[in-house]
Structure 1
Amino acid sequence: MNLKFWQSRGITVRLLTIAVLPASMMFIAVAAAMYATAVNDVRRDVAERGRLIATALAQSSQYGLVSGNLTYVRNTLQQLVASDASVTCIRLSDEQHHTVASSCQDQQSEDQTTHEAPVLIESLPELDLFDMGAAAGQKKPAPAEPRDPGRMRTIGYVRVTMSAAPIFEARRGALMLAFTLVAGAAVASSMLSLRLTRRLRRTMASVMLALRAIRKGQFDVDLPTNQPDELGELQRTIVQMAEALDAARNDLEQKVKTRTHELRVAIDQIRQADAEKRRLITHSNALIEEDRKRVAVEIHDHLGASLISVKLEAAALAAKAEASGDADMARNAQRIQHTMELIYASTRNIVKSLRPEVIDTLGLSMALEEMVLGLDNVHPQCRFSFSAEAGLPDLRGEFAMQAYRVVQEALTNIIKHAGASQASVHLALNEQRDQLCIEIKDNGRGFDTKASTQSGLGLIGMRERVASVGGEICISSPQGQGTSIHLTLPLQPPEQQNSNAPQR
């Protein structure tokens, strides 16, 4: 049997095969054995009968062959052929195998066997009855080699041809009856096996249904557990397994619920901590910007005014010295005036770095452009360029200041670490025109963005500033291929988005 075919069959087919196949094979084996036994018995009987007939005819035909009176022999042969259907042909031949009498049936069968028996007679002593000396009582000399009176000699042969077909046909009825009985026994055995198999199949079907339900997660199975045999043990094992799996599932679900609740609480705490951190960072940045603004105002209003006053007094002193002809005093006053101009210019630069006035006066785009052009003038080893698409909104205030500080930190990192020869800043709006997109690129050496040692406080500060206004930052820096920083900042700050949201 093909194992693949057997393995692909269902349990019903297998049980039916187990129930019917042995009985069928047993019926075939018994029928074949009975048929072979019957054939062998018939052939053995025919062979024995043929030998007996040949021997009997050889003994009874001695007189006919010796005397030459074959009429009795022929009648005997005809009667035997007519009375026994298994005798196909009988032939009587002389010592030279010449047929002297025969009787055969008209129809000859293929399955024939031939049995031959010699016709024997006892040898007689040779006497000359016409010897005169012997008649007168004269003694005749004995022959040199007298014959043995007990010796047998062959005077002919009887050949009997037998066929087993007629006897087998005569026994066919009994053989068919035996086949019928064996077939009935096989059918009864198959029916009994099918009945037992049906009970087994029902049990196995219920077991399979229970296993399929367990596979689907349905552990409430209903199987009888009162059977004492192996099937009952199997059913009890399945029920116990289902109960154990159900308990394990309930326990696992409870653990999952507990872990999920703990995870949600932890996530909420992390979110709250992150929100608190961003709020603190935003508040700190606001305080820093406020302090910078205050310092810038103090420097601009007080220190700047004082420097202008000193410059004017130096100019007046120089004019007075020139008028009086005191050249040394005039030169000293001019040096003081020049020094005040340099100090005043440095003060202006400090004020711009603390609080760029251009953000409040002209907006973010002009402030970034001024910063980029200033860096391009100050650092000739790296060319800085600025571009912005048309139609950008006028962004000012603290939101614009945060974007300005992020770009300022990125350009500072390029100057310090990138070793680039070109850098660019580009401003644009997204497709929905509700977010500001800033791209900062350079052709420097790049760095590993995953290495914490290279990230530094500058990048951390950039990320925190972007997150504080609800934006996103993406840094791409393949080694040796430059760095690209993409900023996405919402035009409306998060607190304004929450305040403008519809109330429910």
Structure 2
Amino acid sequence: MIGLAIIEADRVVSRKFGPLTEWLPSIGKDCCSCIPLAGMELELASLAKGRRRNIALPGIRGASLGLADPVTVVIIWIAAKSHYLLIVTPDFAALQVERLLGSERRARRLIEQQLEAASVEVRFASLARERLRLARDLHDTLVHSVVGLLMQIRLTRHFHKADPGSVASRLAAAEEAAVTGLARARQAIARLRLPNERVQVLGLEAIATEFARRSEIEVQIDVDDSLREGIARHGTTIDRVATEAFRNIEHHSGARRVWIRASGDCTSGAFEIEIRDDGRGFDVASRAPDHYGLIGMKEFAELVGGRCSVESWPGEGTSVRLSLPVAESGYSGGEL
């Protein structure tokens, strides 16, 4: 744990004891011929003349010296013997600092690895959200437009034989469906090109009014005024879910009446929008796996920390319930 060496006044090593002094030159050689003491002739002379009390060299280490751990070297002048006494002890402070620095470096590397992994995860999640966004836009525009156009073509084919005189009006309806689909596709492209905060949404009541005008289905709306701020905050989510629900009602339900109700309060932390119709209904469990409208509604709700459920039974209509948080979430309701 300690090394000692005696160095004569002419700096020649005369004796050394312990493994901690193995780095010193061989006995009979100048102590300043080794790396730690190289160039210290003047300091040693000053020490011998009494101008210094000692020479301290902390933190000496090196593989070439045979020192795995740092040591401190202290040199004092023994005037009665006219020689230098060199004392070598382990430098526990330097060793502790090195350990702390090593731990800090390891921690930094770990943090860097975690940040890199998080960055990769964020990029993957961003890519996944973008793919979902594209899939929803394709479903909400292209798929619906083609379905509407297909329905008009089938009706035209039917009336071509049963009522030839109505073919012109059916062709006009098909053309209108194509024009509407094209407009919706352009809107989807515009949403992809615009920043999130510039995306415009119609609002729940405007969507319902447009649906009633287009479908000639009676719509009753009951919205609590205290919820209008929350409805505006989640405008895009409500727009997408309500639009999908109204399209399903228009094309599949055969409903004559639709009820829209928005209720909730701040104490519960959430509010609910229900869209219910008196149509023919369907078996939710047996819906076609390649129809993504209901899946898209649930995904839009989950993106803002909400929930969307669909309840329906054959002959008993359909109810879509959208539950959204009153307070701001990590996602403000704009496009992702």
TM-score exceeds 0.5: no
TM normalised by structure 2 equals 0.40
The structure with more strand, counted as a fraction of residues: 2
Larger radius of gyration: 1
The structure with more helix, counted as a fraction of residues: 1
